[in-house]
Structure 1
Amino acid sequence: MTSDARSNWLKSHDIQYLKRPGLVLNDRFEDRHEPRAWNWIRPWDFESKFDVGIVGIPLSTTSIQPTSCYLAPDAFRLSTPGFTTFSPDFDVDMTSMVVRDLGDIGIPILDQQEALRRVEETMERLWKAHQERFLLLIGGDHSITAPAARAFARVHQDKKIGLIHFDAHNDVRVMDHGPTNGTPIRQLLESGLNFNGKNLVQVGIHGFMNGSYYKRWVEGHGGTIFTGRQIRHDSIESVINQAIEIAGNGTDAIYVTVDIDVLELAYAPGTGGASPEGIHPAQLYEALYILGQNKKVAAIDFVEHDPAIDVVRITGRTMTGAIMSFLIGLFLRQNDGWCGYDKTPITSN
């Protein structure tokens, strides 16, 4: 990547706040037959084509409780040497998918409103510039979802947009304290943009962490809630297929937001709101694999990983596994179901 190519591209698209990736890994061991994600997800050169662009949004000053979710984009980058591009579970090798790290949105520490404004402005311009490519966002706390999804809606004003929301919480708190990580879904439904409550599906709501008022608010605005208990009693495949049907009914696109506290606490100690009643990572991975394959799913964000309170990087690895599972599904979608490799057994060295 040349500085001229980067600066010229940013200037031509009037993008002021996109910074270089916070962390770039180099000189790691790699077996030539076992491609690792660290050498697969490389910084974008601002010239070549890509299939998926990753954008970091290191914002956490809008959290209701103090967090260090701003560290999560770099925690994702740091985790990638531990992952290959092949999944034996899904039997897909996505090495040929071109995934590029576009960098992080620059976030002012002391001005929450300006931080959210920058997220919205930058994402609107990135989506305008990359309408034929898939952008995957890594927060940051859950406050990033409202400006990011509003930006997506403004770029696609001709599209009705459904929402699939993985979380322990409803995230429709009143706005008494301004926009926080507890208000993004309310903000979207009240934005006046092309979101409708009847196309909102909340997946995995659980624990003693929500008020009945907010359950009634979601239902009163047409939303559907699948609790963690419902998922355990039914199956994640059944729930996510129902979610897709509801979110996709009469819509043109689906925005997915994944709060990692949807998981059981044992698998997500590095987040502020997980509890033992959450879902299992394998259930989340299966759901994201299915969503990746669905042609209406047009945007996704992953939020609320707090590396500062994580335990032996459990949450970080789990979050990266979730991202990779979604990308596996997206690879199948983009390649008409091709598994990505020749399955002929190898009998030589």
Structure 2
Amino acid sequence: MALNPPIGEVQLQKVKQAFDKTLNKSDERAARQERRREAILHGDIPTFMEVDAARNVEQLCNADAVVLGFPFEGPTSISPSRAAPPSVSRPKAGSVYWRMGADVSPDHIREYSIFYSKHHNGGYHPEIDRDLVLHDALRIVDYGNCTYDPVDTMNTIREGIQRVGEIVDAGAIPFVLGGDHTTPYPVAKAILDRRTDPVGLVVFDAHVDFSYTPGEYWASNQWAQLMLETGKIDPKNISIIGIRSSRNAFAELKLAESLGVKVYTSTDVKQLGMNAVIAEAIKKANNGTNGIYVSVDIDCMEPAQVPSQKAQEIWGLSIDEMFAALRALSRENFIGFDICEHSPMYDVNGQGAQFCARAVVEMMGGLALSKRKSR
């Protein structure tokens, strides 16, 4: 096979000019550089992706996406027959069944979001889109954390509803870092209180969470409370993906299915493939609705890949499967997103925290593409 001739002088100059142009854009060797004030939320915790912090409602103005921490921990299972209130001491190291710590997860996720700092490259993710620079397309701010009161958890829930309401009123999409899986109650409640149309729901979870305890709010009855209180989520528009394990009550699963909820076990995902499953779930969520709410309980994931789960269950979704699903959902008309049940004390090398941060980035990428398309 004949070899190509050496690069000609004209072509070589074009290559050099391209490199020089890039160098000029990134050149920071000015005579004096002003010190950049670090994007610190509090203490030594950075804001999510080092975006600007919104310290008050006014600073939400013109935001497209707002990150909010909901550091909440409700009752926790000590054993199959006992539960601990959130105000008790933490479980001892090595506890097998009783695992806590979701209330300190938002800041841990923020620490590992540094891998996606806007100062790296403005949020350029070629794997999402080769021409998209995230922070050129979206204004993203971090609205800090709700105040957690383990004695009176309703205080935290009420503040969550208020803070998410402020985000929605500002015209932005809330991206909420839980907290346990009580998190979608205040988030979706605030969103739905401001809407008249029904919405669809796509949930990733190892557990159905169809308990019903009137007057109580915790991480197993959030869907019943939302459906009954808002009247804007029809069970026929709900899909729950990743179900497995003996912690699912037979009656709850059958109740969900009898109401029209589509329940996909981890076996369903492995056999059908995530692309087929998420296409069905999106179709179901969009049927007669205006918008999709997305909730991710990380115990849907295989714990070997995401080890920071409060309620780990073997044989969960893979990272490939999850991001295929989020990639599809991010390109839909989604109205809110939460990721829950991360616990730093069980994390390994930050794998769980970085997974949570990346899930938020993935959803923001889809939002950025839709914003770019509409302009």
Structure 1: runs of 5 or more not aligned: 1-19, 27-35, 339-349
Preserved CA contact (<8 Å) 2:211 2:221: yes
Query: Deviations along 1:122-152, whole A, 9 cap, x unmatched?
Result: 323432x22x221111111111211221221
1:165 and 2:165 matched: no
- Residue aligning to 1:119: 160
- Residue aligning to 1:329: 366
d(CA) in 2 for partners of 1:173 and 1:25? Answer: 36
1:51 deviates by 1.7
1:261–1:147 distance in 2 versus 1, CA, 3 Å:
same
1:314 and 2:351 matched: yes
d(CA) in 2 for partners of 1:283 and 1:140? Answer: 23
- Residue aligning to 1:44: 54
- Residue aligning to 1:242: 280
Preserved CA contact (<8 Å) 2:67 2:141: yes
**How many residues align structurally?**
305
d(CA) in 2 for partners of 1:230 and 1:332? Answer: 30
1:71 deviates by 1.3
Preserved CA contact (<8 Å) 1:292 1:333: no
Q: 1:202 aligns with which of 233, 240, 246?
A: 240
d(CA) in 2 for partners of 1:337 and 1:322? Answer: 23
Query: Deviations along 1:231-257, whole A, 9 cap, x unmatched?
Result: 111221211111111011001121111
Superposition pairs of residues 292-303 of structure 1, within 5 angstroms: 292-295=330-333, 297-303=334-340
- Residue aligning to 1:56: 69
Query: Deviations along 1:249-283, whole A, 9 cap, x unmatched?
Result: 00112111111111001122211122221100121
1:22 deviates by 4.3
Which amino acid in the other structure matches residue 308 of structure 1? M
d(CA) in 2 for partners of 1:103 and 1:210? Answer: 34
- Residue aligning to 1:139: 178
RMSD over aligned Cα atoms: 2.4
1:211 deviates by 2.1
Superposition pairs of residues 140-155 of structure 1, within 5 angstroms: 140-155=179-194
Which amino acid in the other structure matches residue 335 of structure 2? A
Preserved CA contact (<8 Å) 1:268 1:274: no
Structure 2: runs of 5 or more not aligned: 1-39, 78-97
Q: 1:212 aligns with which of 234, 250, 253?
A: 250
2:66 is paired with a residue whose SS is strand
Please give the TM-score of this superposition, normalised by the length of structure 1. Answer: 0.81
1:86 and 2:124 matched: yes
Which amino acid in the other structure matches residue 202 of structure 2? I
- Residue aligning to 2:305: 267
1:143 is paired with a residue whose SS is coil
1:135 is paired with a residue whose SS is strand
d(CA) in 2 for partners of 1:279 and 1:22? Answer: 34
Query: Deviations along 1:301-339, whole A, 9 cap, x unmatched?
Result: 11111112212211111111211111111211111199x
Structure with larger Rg: 2
Preserved CA contact (<8 Å) 1:231 1:239: yes
1:23 deviates by 5.5
Preserved CA contact (<8 Å) 1:63 1:180: no
d(CA) in 1 for partners of 2:310 and 2:48? Answer: 27
1:195 is paired with a residue whose SS is coil
Query: Deviations along 1:70-111, whole A, 9 cap, x unmatched?
Result: 111111210122235233433343131221101111122211
d(CA) in 1 for partners of 2:212 and 2:255? Answer: 10
d(CA) in 2 for partners of 1:38 and 1:125? Answer: 21
Percent identical pairs in the alignment equals: 22
1:178 deviates by 3.0
1:67 and 2:100 matched: yes
